[in-house]
Amino acid sequence: MTDKFAIFGNPVAQSKSPQIHDQFAAQFDLDIDYQRIYSTEAQFADDLAMFFSNGAIGCNVTAPFKEQAFQACDQLTEKARRARAVNTVFRQQDGTLLGHNSDGVGLVTDIVDNKLVAIRDKNIMILGAGGATRGILEPIIAMQPATITLANRTVSKAQSLANEFSDIYSIQVTSTEQPEYQNAPDLLINATSASLSAAVPVTDANLIGTHTVCYDLSYSADPTAFLKWAAEHGATQCIDGKGMLVEQAANSFSLWTSHSPVTKEVITWLEHNCTQQV
């Protein structure tokens, strides 16, 4: 029997998830049907319930439905609970819906395993304090960095987010406009939505040391505005979010099928088949 999966989003036509999951399924000779489902805020809860009542096994959820999916699930993994957002839903044996968030695992796997960049004992700065940052914080903290600094345009939002994680880590907070820090970070992650408008969220070029690796959660066929800026100011390595996209998909796929796909060739495929900024 064909196992049914989907990605819910709005827009969703640009999503590469169907091709990514089809490539994973081929590695294990699995017969899957992975669709794109366009929904609306008013319809999302009903569309999700209908999808699973028709026997589907799992789905991914992208913008703008991750918070609604968080509300709709019966149970949550610790990562989804911390993220307050769900990008992966799994229908369990008893029919209940488990909500998970694989974004942060995807990021950390890409940084540490694929790009061979250490997080443990390193100084990390994250730009942005919205949903994307909340989604990646727990897996980054789990890697035991020396320091984490959240820099945001609206400092109070960074402070609230730091407070949410104060039971597991002491996060420092500063402004993207006039950032305060001791040394240039080892790893500078752009988790703002600035790339979507081709804006660079910081201007302080001293944030980039000769040892600084820059990672943008966004990606496009060409380097993002942030990564162009980082390269111009001497970042030692510039990485965009294509590897994260494939790794978060692999983590979802493992939850649904108990198979761990090999990602290297799928990342290479995405690098050659990426047309749009995400």
Whether 157 is catalytic is no
Task: Decide: is 68 part of the binding site for ligand ATR (CB under 6 A).
Answer: no
- Between 25 and 245, name the residue whose CB sits nearer to ligand ATR: 245
CB nearer to ligand ATR: pick between 225 and 239: 225
Cβ proximity to ligand ATR: between 136 and 266 the closer is 136
Round to whole Å and give the CA distance between 175 and 197.
20
How does DSSP classify residue 206?
Answer: G
Please choose, out of 12-20, 33-41, 189-197, 249-257, the segment that lies near ligand ATR by the rule CB under 6 A.
189-197
**Phi, then psi, of 48 in degrees rounded to 5:** -65, -45
Q: How far is the CB of 173 from ligand ATR (least distance, A)?
A: 12
Structure tokens of 72? 């709709």
CA distances from 155 to 2, 145, 174, 176 (A): 49, 22, 6, 8
Nearest distance in Å: CB 132, ligand ATR? 3
| Long-range Cβ contact pairs of 15-21 (< 8 A, separation 24 or more) | 15/62, 16/245, 16/270, 16/273, 16/274, 17/60, 17/62, 17/249, 19/269, 19/273, 20/245, 20/246, 20/249, 20/266, 20/270, 21/249, 21/253
Candidate residues 201, 241, 243, 261; the one interacting with ligand ATR per rule CB under 6 A: 201
Residues near ligand ATR (CB under 6 A), total: 15
125-164: which residues touch ligand ATR (CB under 6 A)? 128-132, 152-154, 157
Q: Which of 4, 16, 66, 242 is catalytic?
A: 66
Contact footprint for ligand ATR (CB under 6 A)? 128-132, 152-154, 157, 176, 192-194, 199, 201
Query: Which residues are marked as active site?
Result: 66
